[in-house]
Homo-oligomer: A and B are copies of this chain.
Amino acid sequence: MRGGWAPAWRTLLAVGVGVAAEALAGWLLRRRREGSALREALFFPSRATCVEALLAEEGGGPSPGPCDCPLPHQESPLSRLLAHLLAARRSLDLCVFAFSNPQLRRALLLLHRRRVHIRVVTDADYMALRGSQIGILRKAGIQVRHDQETGYMHNKFVIIDKKVLITGSLNWTTQAIQNNRENVIIIDDKKIVDVFLAEFEKIWEDFDPTNYTFFTN
């Protein structure tokens, strides 16, 4: 009978197409998830490599052309870290215990010039040590707050554009980058990023300078 299928066959066709579509959708979703979710790990120590190409805009003038320094011109854990930081477009929220590495300071100054909103929380004891880059950041107009607690502000995490979290054991020191065994993970999982954002805001408020006590003796 032309054009006339039994109801059972119509149901089977619909179910078959549905099952196939479900399988396809599942595969596509898993594939999209695998492909797009940011989940990267960096391990240190990192051999010193040239990162001038990444920081080339720094001077504000035209690109200075290929760098002829003797360091290897290749990717390294430090260059990956810098690349993630320099991808910031709107905001960079940083908690870091020790900050003495000049390349990472240059990256923050570059972002500051690009009008990325930067907030830095650091440890009061460490920031006073020789080699700390915190003073340079402050002089450039970047907001910095520090603890006034008996414990250390020992976190080392960054949130980029409120969407990407970088955390781990790595302080922002050349010693740590070039000599220590360290790890950093970079993820954009919304659930994790959001709780770190909330923690950053909490620490930022806890360390509001209007609450600082200035000891006079």
Shortest Cβ distance from A151 into B: residue: B179
- Asked whether A79 is an interface residue with its Cβ less than 8 Å from the other chain, the reply is no
Distance of A181 from chain B, by nearest CB (Å) = 5
Instruction: Provide the A22-34 mask, 1 if CB < 8 A to any CB of B, else 0.
Output: 1111100110011
Shortest Cβ distance from A186 into B: residue: B192
Pair A169/B192 contact, Cβ less than 8 Å: no
Task: Please state the number of chain copies in the assembly.
Answer: 2
A181 to B147, alpha carbons, bound, how many Å? 9
Of the listed stretches A37-45, A59-67, A107-115, name the one at the interface; the rest are far from the partner chain.
A37-45
Of the listed stretches A11-19, A47-55, A82-90, A127-135, name the one at the interface; the rest are far from the partner chain.
A11-19
Pair A39/B191 contact, Cβ less than 8 Å: yes
Interface size range on A against B: 35 or more
Pair A180/B167 contact, Cβ less than 8 Å: no
Known contacts: A14-B17, A18-B20. The answer to whether A192 contacts B187 by CB under 8 A is: yes
- Asked whether A126 is an interface residue with its Cβ less than 8 Å from the other chain, the reply is no
- Asked whether A205 is an interface residue with its Cβ less than 8 Å from the other chain, the reply is no
Distance of A19 from chain B, by nearest CB (Å) = 7
- Asked whether A208 is an interface residue with its Cβ less than 8 Å from the other chain, the reply is no
- Asked whether A140 is an interface residue with its Cβ less than 8 Å from the other chain, the reply is no
Instruction: Provide the A191-203 mask, 1 if CB < 8 A to any CB of B, else 0.
Output: 1100110010001
Q: Which residues of B contact A152 (CB under 8 A)?
A: 176, 179-181
